[in-house]
């Protein structure tokens, strides 16, 4: 059942490649706009790079949250899923995983290329990619709660940002912090352990909270 | 007693702008909340009163007709 | 003799009880406010370090305490409403949010106006200030979510989930902001030093906190009453209530 949900979501995403590409291009454009606003001074850009890439990743992953449940909600699949005997939390976990595959993984793959624009050293590029690899699943997990709560509401897209962005702050701090520490030549193990801890905690709680939110929204 | 005159009280040892600035906004916010809530209460009472009166009138009309 | 507390869990009986109690809490708030301001401005001595500017403490600390405390209370009642399906506790949670958000805003505002003369900056990215700002975002998120949902019961439950998620996250956010702040030390000013306070200062602060507490209770009761009337306007007891009064 879990694999069925993931495969179905991936298949739908392949049919609508434009959606996936929009998120990715949004990420690329936001990151590329910053030097135009701040100025081409490489030393400043190198300091700002981790924060910029991470904030852009937060926004990009948030943009695609609306699609997580709304298509299934509109065509009635969600109702069927709610009625099915399989645990809803497990199915929700599948949806989170496919959301991460569709939006998170492209960001992770794109990040090193964008890091080069900011003249990050190779070690920092590796840390940036790894931190995004650890951090983007958390964004999908937490974001799903907001997506489920705002399901079918007017202006849900803006509302989801209000609900979800404050909750993303710890991920931003430690994700960007890891890269900054590596640029400064300090250890970044602690950042990674904390990101890993967040990932585990949200892996336990987020599917459950999202399932409860979906039940409330579908009543 | 801390103050010898009113002007001394208002100047707050040179920090009057900051002290009164923060207290003034606090007063505005609290008064604003009270005003908004009592406004909400009053419109609610009014609309409820009208609703009850209209149902009474309807019942009377039903009885007479 | 035992009081039947369950009686007050129904919106109708709460409505009447709250109507009586609002006056006591309002009067207590007014009396405590006057006493607290008198002690704060006329009894408490001038601070030898900060001069008269420290008198902002009498409004700043009470509203900051209340802002954090009210969020926890709000999440608690919202959670009770979600778990036991009690309408009244969800209504109380909804009623708490605006007062809590106002106190959070005031804590930020008075903090800025205290920070400017003391640290030379309206805003510093200190862990406490940043967390307070995020708390304001959480309040606003809770209120906007509830405002966007038309069905009141769905609004109650959805709000409860976001409030509970927020309450779990507040310690994590505070901890991470503090870590972040120590990493970037330099521009920030430490406000952890707490010199020994004169008894009068402490007394003024505590009395003002009590006043803020009484004020919050009065406002929450009043707002809960309004919410009860709005939601139960089609029930017979509300109709009877207006019928007898007029």
Q: Write the pLDDT tens digit of every residue in B20-60.
A: 889 999 999 999 999 999 999 999 888 887 766 666 666 66
C-alpha closest to that of A106 among A169, A46, A179, A22: A22
Is residue C5 predicted with pLDDT exceeding 80? no
Q: Model pTM?
A: 0.88
Structural domain span for residue A20: 2-217
Q: What is the pLDDT of residues C182-239, one digit of tens each?
A: 765 544 444 545 555 678 888 888 999 999 999 999 999 999 999 998 888 777 777 7
3-state SS assignment for residue A90? helix
User: Does the distance separating the beta carbons of C158 and A213 come in below 8 Å?
Assistant: yes
Distance from CA of C106 to the nearest CA of B (A): 6
Please name the CATH architecture into which domain C13-244 falls: Up-down Bundle (1.20)
User: Distance between CA C192 and CA C128 in Å, rounded?
Assistant: 10
What confidence tens digit (pLDDT) does each residue in C172-181 have? Answer: 888 888 877 7
Q: Which residue has the tokens 């999908």?
A: A140
Over residues C117-170, the pLDDT tens digits come to 887 888 888 778 888 999 999 999 999 999 999 888 899 999 999 999 999 888
Cβ–Cβ gap B2/C45 under 8 Å: yes
Dihedral of alpha carbons C38, C42, C43, C47, sign: positive
What residues of C are in contact with residue A147 (Cβ under 8 Å)?
A: none
How many domains does chain A divide into? 1
Q: B43: which chain C residues are within 8 Å (Cβ-Cβ)?
A: none
- Distance, CA of C74 to chain centre: 9
Q: Which two tokens stand for residue A131?
A: 């931190």
> CA torsion sign, A62 to A66 to A68 to A69?
positive
C172 touches chain A (CB under 8 A): yes
Which residue does chain C place closest to A150, by CA atoms?
A: C145
Phi, psi of C47, deg, nearest 5: -75, 135
User: Residues in chain B whose beta carbon is closer than 8 A to a beta carbon of chain C?
Assistant: 1-3, 9, 12-15, 18-19, 21-23, 25-26, 29-30, 33-34, 37, 40-41, 44, 48-49, 51-53, 55-56
């Amino acid at each position: 059942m879990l694999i069925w949900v993931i495969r179905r979501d991936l298949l739908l995403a392949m049919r609508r490649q434009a959606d996936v590409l929009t998120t990715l291009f949004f990420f690329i454009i936001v990151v590329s706009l910053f030097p135009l606003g701040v100025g081409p001074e490489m030393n400043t850009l190198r300091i700002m790079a981790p924060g910029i890439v991470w904030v852009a990743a937060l926004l990009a992953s948030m943009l695609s949250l609306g699609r997580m449940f709304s298509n299934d909600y509109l065509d009635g699949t969600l109702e069927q899923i709610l009625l099915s005997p399989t645990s809803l939390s497990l199915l929700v976990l599948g949806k989170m995983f496919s959301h991460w595959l569709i939006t998170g993984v492209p960001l992770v793959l794109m990040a090193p290329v964008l890091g080069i624009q900011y003249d990050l050293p190779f070690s920092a590029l590796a840390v940036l990619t790894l931190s995004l690899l650890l951090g983007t699943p958390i964004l999908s997990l937490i974001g799903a709660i907001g997506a489920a709560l705002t399901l079918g509401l007017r202006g849900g897209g803006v509302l989801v940002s209000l609900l979800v962005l404050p909750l993303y702050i710890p991920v931003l701090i430690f994700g960007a912090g890891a890269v900054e520490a590596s640029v400064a030549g300090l250890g970044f193990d602690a950042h990674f352990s904390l990101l890993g801890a967040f990932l585990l905690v949200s892996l336990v709680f987020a599917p459950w909270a999202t399932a409860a939110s979906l039940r409330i929204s579908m009543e | 007693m801390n103050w010898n005159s009113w002007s001394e009280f208002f100047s707050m040892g040179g920090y009057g702008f900051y002290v009164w600035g923060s207290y003034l906004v606090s007063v505005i916010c609290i008064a604003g909340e009270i005003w908004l809530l009592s406004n909400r209460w009053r419109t609610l009472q009014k609309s409820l009163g009208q609703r009850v009166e209209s149902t009474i009138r309807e019942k009377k009309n039903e009885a007479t007709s | 003799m035992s009081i039947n507390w369950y009686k007050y869990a129904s919106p109708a009986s709460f409505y009447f009880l709250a109507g009586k109690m609002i006056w006591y809490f309002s009067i207590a708030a007014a009396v405590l406010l006057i006493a607290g301001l008198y002690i704060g401005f006329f009894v408490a001595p001038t601070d030898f370090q900060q001069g008269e500017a420290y008198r902002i403490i009498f409004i700043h600390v009470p509203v900051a305490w209340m802002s954090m405390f009210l969020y926890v209370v709000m999440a608690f009642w919202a959670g009770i409403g979600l778990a036991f399906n009690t309408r009244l506790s969800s209504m109380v949670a909804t009623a708490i949010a605006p007062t809590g958000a106002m106190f959070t805003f005031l804590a930020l505002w008075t903090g800025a106006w205290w920070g400017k003369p003391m640290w030379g900056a309206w805003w510093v990215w200190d862990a406490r200030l940043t967390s307070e700002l995020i708390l304001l975002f959480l309040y606003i998120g809770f209120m906007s979510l509830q405002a966007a949902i038309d069905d009141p019961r769905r609004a109650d439950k959805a709000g409860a989930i976001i409030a509970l998620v927020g309450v779990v996250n507040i310690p994590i956010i505070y901890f991470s902001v503090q870590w972040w702040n120590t990493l970037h030390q330099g521009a920030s000013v430490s406000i952890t030093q707490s010199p020994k306070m004169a008894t009068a200062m402490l007394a003024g602060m505590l009395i003002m906190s009590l006043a803020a507490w009484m004020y919050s209770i009065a406002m929450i009761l009043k707002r809960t009453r309004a919410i009860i009337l709005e939601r139960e306007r089609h029930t017979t007891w509300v109709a009877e209530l207006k019928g007898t009064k007029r």
